[in-house]
Structure 1
Amino acid sequence: MAESNGNSEPVFLIFGKNGWIGGLLQESLKEQGAKYHLADARLEDRAAIVADLEKYKPTHVLNAAGVTGRPNVDWCESHKLETIRANVLGCLNLADVCNERGIHMTYYGTGCIFHYDDDFPVDSGKGFKESDKPNFTGSYYSHCKAITENLIKEYPNVLTLRVRMPIVADLTYPRNFITKIIKYDKVINIPNSMTVLPELLPMSIEMAKRKLTGIMNFTNPGAISHNEILELYKEYIDPEFSWSNFTVEEQAKVIVAPRSNNLLDTERIKGEFPELLSIKDSLIKYVFEPNAQKKDEICAAVREMRGR
């Protein structure tokens, strides 16, 4: 694959500069001292994409653009055309333009395109591999993401990373999976694969440098349940914290679209990064131990979020 800027120094171009993952990528690249730029083009505008590529001459494109919906993916159920435009057409447009120019593209997709079933039972330890076909289309968001993954895998220049229930250290950040569940009085209790971004995002930059392609389950090894996470929160942050559980059927009454629950196989990513921590160990190292130093501040903020 060609080095677009004519030398061996990687030059990254981020699409989705105003998004959550796009912002975190900027921080990570800055920490690494890497050369990067922020794209201005909207993904639906092919001419604008070409203009950005010609202006910045990247060797690597990081695509963190798209819509997930606010406050959650239920938004996509009533904004289907916007979802198609950003998450299907736009993503493929960028991949196609990059492929024409021999530029490696990393696409931050989703692993929320699978769910437990008779072949992959809960607690069986059997995870969905990169080669498995998506079996969850319960939400329009997941439906579109599955279509995109199936199409984009034909591009030889693209690495698709299946992100799941992303987590950061900031326990008051609204898009953090842990923040979402500590806000609620009731949660479901199902083990899931999850992505601890402080550990994994820097690895995605290294994956781009290695020019890995195809699909990668982008999660920490193993699964962890909602209750296990809340027990860690209780142990490290707030001993008085309490919650209760409800069933998937009860949850369905308060959400518009079903949610994906699954375990993803991590053999490929562990092969590239043997040092990758298990989901529980990663949560302790990157989230709970750092936050234990400021637990009073966090407790006050969480109680305010919960209206207590």
Structure 2
Amino acid sequence: GKTNIDWCEQNKLECFEVNVLGADNIAQACQKLGVYLIHLSSGCIFESKSAEQSFSEEDLPNPLCFYAWTKVWGDNLLMDRATRHGLKVLILRPRQLLSSMVSPRNALTKMLTYTKFIDTDNSCTVVEDLMFATDELIKQQATGIYNVSNPGITSPYKIAQKLKEIIKPEMQLEVISKEDLNKMTLAIRIDTVLKTDKLEKAGVHLRDLNERLPEIINDLKENLAKGGSEAAMAETEKETAAKLSYAGKQ
């Protein structure tokens, strides 16, 4: 799927074709062949007005950007196929993916190239834990929609503090408001806190986010030290520069 939310704002037709029509095309093929479909959606279809406002799988989405809308439309089409045509589908909704992998798609890698951060709390999903949860749900042949995030919440600024402490002592950190952040981006950034009661009732228990965060950052540090990550970091820095260039035109 297409996940760069600023790109999706500029390329709405292609975003719709991939995230909505593409998902439904795959679902249609799985339906015809009787294949179990695992679909990766997103938790950013919900906006939490505060850290106390959290959302379950049954809550009505309130998407604020085009990317989030495409994820809602895709989920709805797949669940309609499940209800009316017997599609066996598992839809996973992670939020703010964090990983030890050096990649432009990893939020931690991106943050290493930032200097300005908001300090509002969100749910996050450690990718390595998402893989574990997915495997456990597949073993159960689970169907329907599941929020998948680590228990606990944190903010981009708090994550950046850990990155500075563990990986990049010279990192400059500045707290900005969400209003200022939205002036720097094409798509509106949202805060999301997910409920994971359904996942836990299925017997899938992930470790607390604030316990996992130092571990995953230390693993990222080791991967950066191994070498071979220069291309990924260069691409990440290029993308950050492009974002700053857009912000400078506002």
Q: Decide which of 124, 127, 134 is 1:194's aligned counterpart.
A: 124
- 1:210 paired residue number: 140
Q: Is the 8 A contact 1:127 1:264 kept in 2?
A: yes
Give the ranges of 4+ consecutive aligned residues of structure 1 lying more than 6 Å apart after TM superposition. Answer: 294-298, 300-304
Deviation at 1:222, TM superposition (A): 1.8
Look up the SS of the partner of 1:107 in the other structure: strand
Q: In the alignment, which of 22, 25, 31 is matched to residue 90 of structure 1?
A: 22
Shift of 1:203: 2.4
Report % sequence identity. Answer: 32
Q: Does 1:116 align with 2:48?
A: yes
TM-score for both structures, normalised by structure 2: 0.82
Gaps of 5+ in 2: 242-250
1:288 equivalent to 2:222? Answer no
Distance 2:223 2:90 in 1: 38
What's the counterpart of residue 57 of structure 2? 130
**Higher relative contact order, chain-length normalized (CA < 8 Å, sep 6+):** 2
Whether the aligned pair in 2 keeps the contact of 1:222 and 1:263 (CA below 8 Å) is no
Per-residue CA deviation, residues 98-119 of structure 1 (Å, 9 max, x unaligned), is 12332211101111101123xx
Residues matched between the structures, number: 230
Amino acid paired to 1:144: T
Determine if contact 1:199/1:282 at 8 Å carries over to the other structure. no
Q: Per-residue CA shift, 1:203-239, capped at 9, x if unaligned?
A: 2123123211110001111211112111211222233
Q: Is the 8 A contact 1:192 1:223 kept in 2?
A: yes
8 Å CA contact 1:104–1:208 kept in 2: the answer is no
Aligned partners of 2:133 and 2:148 also within 8 Å: no
Contact residue 97 and residue 126 of structure 2 kept, 8 A: yes
- Letter of the structure 2 residue corresponding to residue 135 of structure 1: N
Q: Distance in 2 between matches of 1:147 and 1:161?
A: 14
Task: Identify unmatched segments of 5+ residues in structure 1.
Answer: 1-65
Cα distance 1:278–1:249, how it changes in 2: closer, same or farther (>3 A)?
A: same
Query: Bigger shift: 95-104 or 175-184?
Result: 95-104
Residue in 1 aligned with 2:65?
139
**C-alpha distance in 2, partners of 1:256/1:223?**
25
Instruction: Say whether the 8 Å CA contact 2:94–2:130 is kept in structure 1.
Output: no
RMSD: 2.6
